[in-house]
C-alpha cells in the first residue's frame, strides 16, 4: 500500500497524485494519513483505486468519484460522495448533511448516522445508512435507493421522483408527494442485495418502502397546497 501524508504534502499534491493514476495502474491501494478534516480529499478520482483515509474528513470528500473505493476511517463533513458517478464510498463514522447529494451512481455506505438532506436530488446512487438520517432527506430524489436502518427525520422524500426509500425505524413525517408503498417480493430482494453489498446486517423484512405518489409530475393548480 502506498501512503500519502496529507499534512506534509498538501491537498493539491495528494489529489494530483491520485488523479495521475491511469485505470490500468498497478498502484491501486492507497492510504491518506493526517486528513485532519481537510476539504475535498480524494475528490474527482476516476480510476479503480482503493483509498483508505485515516481520520476525519471535511466537505466533499470523494466528490464526483468514479470507479474508486474510498473508505473514511472517521466522520465525514458536508457532501461526502456528492455527485458520485460510480464506485464505493464508505464512511465508518457519521456523515454531515447532503451526503451523496445529486450522485448518479455507485454505492455510499454510512455506518453511523447521516445528517439532514441525505441523498438530496440523488440521481441513481444507492445509499445505505446504518443509523438514522436527518430532515429533508431524499428531497427531490430522482432515482436510486436510500436505505435507512434507523429513523428518518421530518419531510422524508419531499417532492420525490422515482427514487426508492427504505426505512427500518420511525419516519417523523413524509414530504410532499411521498407515500408509503407496498413492499413486494422484488423490493425485498433488491433491498437484501443492497444490504449485503453494504455489509450491513439487517433483515429486509423489517423495512418499509416509500416512494412517489406522482401527483406533482405535472403542475396542477389544485395541487398548490402540497408545496
Cβ atoms of residues 33 and 9 within 8 Å: no
Beta bridge partners of 5: 33
Cβ proximity to other proteins: between 18 and 195 the closer is 18
Cβ contacts of residue 216 below 8 Å, gap of 6+? 159, 176, 177, 223, 226
Cβ proximity to other proteins: between 1 and 221 the closer is 221
Alpha-carbon separation of residue 17 from 9, 41, 66, 125, 184 (angstroms): 10, 12, 16, 26, 46
Cβ proximity to other proteins: between 16 and 199 the closer is 16
Cβ proximity to other proteins: between 94 and 102 the closer is 102
Q: For other proteins, which residue of 159, 160, 187, 198 counts as binding (CB under 8 A)? A: 159
| Contact flag: residue 30 with other proteins (CB under 8 A) | no
Name the nearest CA neighbour of 118 among 105, 101, 93: 101
Cβ atoms of residues 178 and 161 within 8 Å: no
Interacting positions 200-219 with other proteins (CB under 8 A): 217-219
Binding residues for other proteins, per CB under 8 A?
11-12, 15-16, 19, 39-40, 43-44, 46, 58-60, 63-64, 66, 78-79, 82-83, 85, 97-98, 101-102, 104, 117, 120-121, 123-124, 139-140, 142-143, 159, 161-162, 217-219, 221
Amino acid at each position: 500500500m502506498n501512503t500519502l501524508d496529507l499534512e506534509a504534502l498538501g491537498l493539491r499534491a495528494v489529489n494530483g497524485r491520485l488523479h495521475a493514476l491511469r485505470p490500468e495502474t498497478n498502484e491501486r491501494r492507497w492510504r491518506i494519513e493526517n486528513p485532519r478534516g481537510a476539504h475535498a480529499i480524494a475528490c474527482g478520482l476516476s480510476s479503480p483505486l482503493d483509498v483508505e483515509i485515516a481520520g476525519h474528513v471535511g466537505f466533499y470528500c470523494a466528490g464526483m468519484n468514479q470507479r474508486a473505493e474510498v473508505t473514511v476511517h472517521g466522520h465525514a463533513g458536508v457532501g461526502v460522495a456528492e455527485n458520485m458517478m460510480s464506485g464505493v464510498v464508505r464512511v465508518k463514522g457519521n456523515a454531515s448533511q447532503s451526503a451523496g447529494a445529486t450522485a448518479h451512481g455507485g454505492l455510499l455506505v454510512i455506518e453511523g448516522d447521516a445528517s439532514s438532506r441525505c441523498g438530496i436530488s440523488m440521481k441513481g446512487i444507492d445509499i445505505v445508512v446504518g443509523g438514522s438520517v436527518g430532515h429533508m432527506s431524499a428531497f427531490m430524489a430522482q432515482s436510486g435507493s436510500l436505505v435507512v436502518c434507523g429513523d428518518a427525520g421530518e419531510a422524508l422524500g419531499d417532492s420525490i421522483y422515482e427514487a426508492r426509500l427504505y426505512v427500518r425505524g420511525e419516519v417523523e413525517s413524509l414530504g410532499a408527494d411521498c407515500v408509503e408503498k407496498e413492499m413486494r417480493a422484488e423490493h425485498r430482494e433488491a433491498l437484501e442485495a443492497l444490504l449485503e453489498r453494504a455489509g450491513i446486517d439487517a433483515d429486509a423484512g423489517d423495512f418499509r418502502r416509500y416512494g412517489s405518489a406522482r401527483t406533482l409530475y405535472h403542475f396542477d393548480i389544485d395541487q398548490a397546497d402540497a408545496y
